[in-house]
Chain A
Amino acid sequence: MSSEFTVLREAWLALDAPSEEVREGARARLFEEIASEESEQRLGRTSDQQVRQGGFRRRSRLALVVVLGLLLVLIWATLTLAFGWHVIFGGTPKVPHNSAIYKDFDSLDVGAPAGMASGVIPNETRRVATYDGIPLWVAPTRAGGYCSMMAGSGGCDREGTVPLNVTYMSSGAPVGGGTPEADLGYLRELHGAVNPRWSGAVEVRFGDGTAVRPQIVWISKPISQGFFYVPIGDDHRRAGHRLQKVVALDADGNVVAEDSSMSQGQQPSDRPPAGAVVDKAEQVASIETPDGKAVLWRAPSRFDSSCTWLALAGRVYGGECSFSGYPSTARVVLVRRGNELLLVSGVGFTSSGLLTLGFADGQQLRLTADGEGDLLRSLPAALRTSGMPTTFSAVDVGGRKLPFVVEAAG
């Protein structure tokens, strides 16, 4: 022992040994324990049993922990298999500011028209999944939605209220270069997001009757979306086997939203938009056409908004649902029959807004929306064969231009 501690050791040794009284008290206390255990032995429990039971208790506890652990893993695996992978968004690292993806998101709103900015928060960009070695990047928006990007393509749901959002990635030919069906021959993969408020699964349906249910990566708040990715194999690029639609399903397997824009383009459908609560649909307007009665319908949607569609001769034109938080954009639907233009419908204009269609032969058609901003007109016979309108414009009652989109089907 070094000299530093010698003094302490000596002081220690100088401490009084326990008195006999103290020692006897402690001994009695210990012997109470011993006697108690021996008494139990006499009642049939041997010490060995106790030790074994002690060991058993420890082993039981260990087994319980293991069983609970396995149970949690099983529950997690079941949930994952049934509902997809779950990722805590805040638990994944943010991308550095000097990364390319940060800069992509940071520049997303540069020059965006008023009201069209995504409000993305690039500082919160995170990689939430990797598919075939390609990372899926997600960032929240200030309004409670998200923007996503994968291999340079993606999109935003600024408000977080869109039920199904699909991005298609093709190679070999530009999408839109041919017919929709032909374009699908170049589809390589698709990815997107589904909103867990309304959907628990996604199904990708093909023309040959096959379907794929991709695993969904559910991302926690503030994203609150499920992301999916589906590679399209050669088999599904052949004619007759190509993509038909992507549908979002609720817990009962009902289609609550669908995206068939790639396969159908603006072609009519045989049913109202998936999100519409058809039982509560109301007629907005109706007209007689050479093909029968055309009815413009409006119904509430499952998505806290409304849906509109035009029904004519058992077909549905221009079916669309709006989404909560987004400003509604007026839409014009032109219905053709061969080379004839049968009718024009419009929704979402301001009250008494004026829509003007110009034709190649110089004729013009002026249509005034009703008090609700809707319109439905059949074309005068003189204009039916004038071909498709070549110019479109819309103004409100004050003469201010109104934005709108045009869709032609038939």
Chain B
Amino acid sequence: MEGLTPASGQYPSDAAAIALSLNEPAAFAAVFERHFPLVHRFLCARAGVDPAADLASETFAIAFRRRADYDLGRPDARPWLIGIAVNLARQARRSERRLNRALARLAGERTLPQESPEARLEPRGNITTLREVLAELSQDDRDLLLLFACLEFSYEQIAETMSLPIGTVRSRINRLRGKLRGRLTGAAGEAGV
């Protein structure tokens, strides 16, 4: 594998690395090196620490196979990568639910208690707050919140990632802001922030 890991700063943009990787597949490694930590961190918050490693790995494998579809007019590949990660997390969640229901049927129980991904975050400091806040939200709002508050994506990037109209993104973020204002400012006070 030596020689297959160009430095992430070798290419001026993700689009340039992806464009080159169409002829030289190894060039895609620059995208991995540049964004793996972000994607992994997102998936930790979104799906939990345990599944995050596999999901992040799968995200880049899928991105590599689909790179011919990438819009080379977009220099920043993060919305595209996170979009793949969101879909994988949702699939994983559905699979987990189906598995739980199947196990419940086998066990003759109604449903096995599910540990939410947020509950699997390490309860350390503000992370507890993050876990609690995410647990209160719908799946879509959870994704929006992570993209906006944690990844600091722009409205346009969120719209691209979530395949939503930008107006919808704005209104949902505003609604989330109002919803969380009291909740988070209170938590911030307790946490000494």
Contacts and interface: CB of A to CB of B under 8 A. Distances in A.
B40 interface: yes
Contacts, number: 140
Contact of A8 (B25, B26, B149, B181): B149
A54 interface: yes
B149 A34 contact: no
B184 A5 contact: yes
Given A15-B41, A34-B64, A48 B23 contact: yes
B129 interface: yes
Nearest to A19: B53
* Most B Cβ at <10 Å: residue of A2, A7, A18, A29: A7
A30 B53 contact: no
User: Interface on chain A toward B: helix, strand, loop, or mixed SS?
Assistant: helix
A26 B52 CA distance: 11
B185 A4 contact: yes
B26 A27 contact: no
Given A10-B193, A30-B32, A30-B61, A4 B53 contact: no
Interface in A35-49: 35, 37-38, 41, 46-48
Contact of A18 (B21, B36, B58, B133): B36
Contacts of B16: none
A22 interface: yes
Interface in B165-192: 177, 180-181, 184-185, 187-188, 191
Interface string B3-28: 01100000000000000011111101
A26 B60 contact: yes
A55 B68 CA distance: 8
Interface string A312-336: 0000000000000000000000000
B149 A17 contact: no
Chain A: number of interface residues, binned into ranges? 35 or more
B37 interface: yes
B164 interface: no
B193 A12 contact: no
A293 interface: no
Given A10-B126, A18-B41, A26-B56, A37 B184 contact: no
Interface string B42-62: 001100010011001110110
Contact of B29 (A2, A14, A34, A54): A34
Contacts of A17: 37, 40-41
Interface of A: 1-12, 14-18, 22-23, 25-31, 33-35, 37-38, 41, 46-48, 50-51, 54-55
Q: Which A-B residue pairs are the 8 nearest by beta carbons?
A: A11-B130, A12-B150, A11-B126, A5-B149, A26-B57, A18-B40, A8-B149, A22-B53
16 contacts: A4-B180, A4-B184, A5-B177, A5-B180, A7-B184, A7-B188, A8-B133, A9-B152, A15-B41, A18-B37, A18-B56, A26-B57, A30-B28, A31-B4, A47-B25, A54-B68
